[in-house]
Amino acid sequence: MNKWYYADAQRRQIGPVPASELVQLHQAGQVDDATLVWREGLANWQPLGTVRAELGLEAPVPPAPEAALPPADAAAPAAMAATAPAVLSPGADDVVYAGLWKRVAASLIDSLVTSTITYAAAIPLFLVYGVSTTALFGLRDLQDGPPLAFWAVYYLLALGLPALYFAWMHSSSTQASLGKMAVGVKVVRGDGQPVGFGRALLRYLAYLLICMLTCGLGALASALVVAFSARKQAPHDMMCDTLVVDRWAFTPFPERQQRGLGTVTIVVLAVFGLLTLGTLLVMGLVIGALVAHG
């Protein structure tokens, strides 16, 4: 099935999108017969009215005057027929990048999701090897602890499942993990195009490697880089040429982007802050009681 591109009101190339989505946009009034469209095989950009029959729209109209999309570096018709057009990068004001606190809130949600998935997948492993939590956390004699095979499979699950989760979600049609979907952001390539599975996997592995090599301090360093970099990129974003942006960025509806934190982000951060504060208070009380009783 052919994938289509179209130009929005600001002459930015949007796509690829399936023909059915282009038809829906036309029926919703978001594009019209004068909207310029292109697919592989066409010699040049065409007004949508000239390809109505191909798209399955009723009542074809006579071709509108020939028009051409005017990017700064217009490609020759033959070159455009061979490869899909590049997205015209919008100005910086057209894209809302995900800031530090939105990314933190998304990370908290995703940590809960991946932890749940990992522990659920590990339950059969515990049953097969007969490992109790006492043995797992080293509270028994090490000679009675889990065998090496258990640890190999356990760490394979603990590292592999989150990697597959993020790679699959970021390369899916949503372009976002559950946490990012909740706070309204997504992951794209540096030019606004969707990321593929391989790039999404490398992005997560780069983040994991940074954290492992720095004993976890890389997460803090990444947060600082996000806070102060121009496009809110973490080191693993820079390494893999990716961006985390508002979910409406690089779409026909950039005006729907939100620059504030949003309700979900505020609630997640507030709940996490209260839980952290409560934990610290309980620990303080316990330590105080132990000291008091010698």
- List Cα–Cα distances, 57 to 24, 53, 60, 215, 252, in angstroms: 10, 6, 7, 58, 20
What six digits make up the tokens of 203?
A: 């992005």
Cα three-residue angle 118-119-124, rounded to 5 degrees? 105
Q: How confident is the model at residue 15 (pLDDT cuts 50, 70, 90)?
A: confident
Q: Answer yes or no: is 287 within a domain.
A: no
**Least confident interval from 190-199, 233-242, 285-294:** 285-294
Structural domain for 129, as ranges: 94-261
Residues 147 and 232 in one domain: yes
Which residue type sits at 218? Answer: G
Q: 133 and 115, same structural domain? A: yes
| Confidence at 51, pLDDT banded by 50, 70, 90 | confident
Q: pLDDT for 123-158, tens place per residue?
A: 887 777 665 555 555 544 445 556 777 788 888 999
Q: Are residues 135 and 228 in the same domain?
A: yes
Identify the pLDDT of residue 136: 54
Q: Is the pLDDT of residue 52 over 80?
A: yes
Strand partners, 18: 3
Mean pLDDT for the stretch of residues 85-93:
43
pLDDT at residue number 265: 95
Percent with pLDDT over 70 in the chain: 80
Strand order in the sheet with 3-7: 13-18, 3-7, 36-39, 46-47
- Whether residues 117 and 229 fall in one domain: yes
What percent of the chain has pLDDT above 90? 42
Q: Among residues 88, 116, 142, which one ends one of the domains? A: 88
Q: Among 63-72, 87-96, 210-219, whose mean pLDDT is lowest? A: 63-72
E-strand ranges in the chain read 3-7, 13-18, 36-39, 46-47, 185-189, 242-246
Give the tokens for residue 210: 């940074």
Residues 84 and 61 in one domain: yes
Is there a contact between 204 and 162 (Cβ–Cβ < 8 Å)? Answer: yes
Q: What is the mean pLDDT of residues 55-71?
A: 58
> pTM to 2 decimals?
0.64
Domain annotation covers residue 203 = yes
Residues 34 and 73 both lie in one domain: yes
Domain count, the chain: 2
Domain of residue 16, CATH code: 3.30.1490
At which of 39, 55, 88 does a domain end?
88
pLDDT at position 46:
84
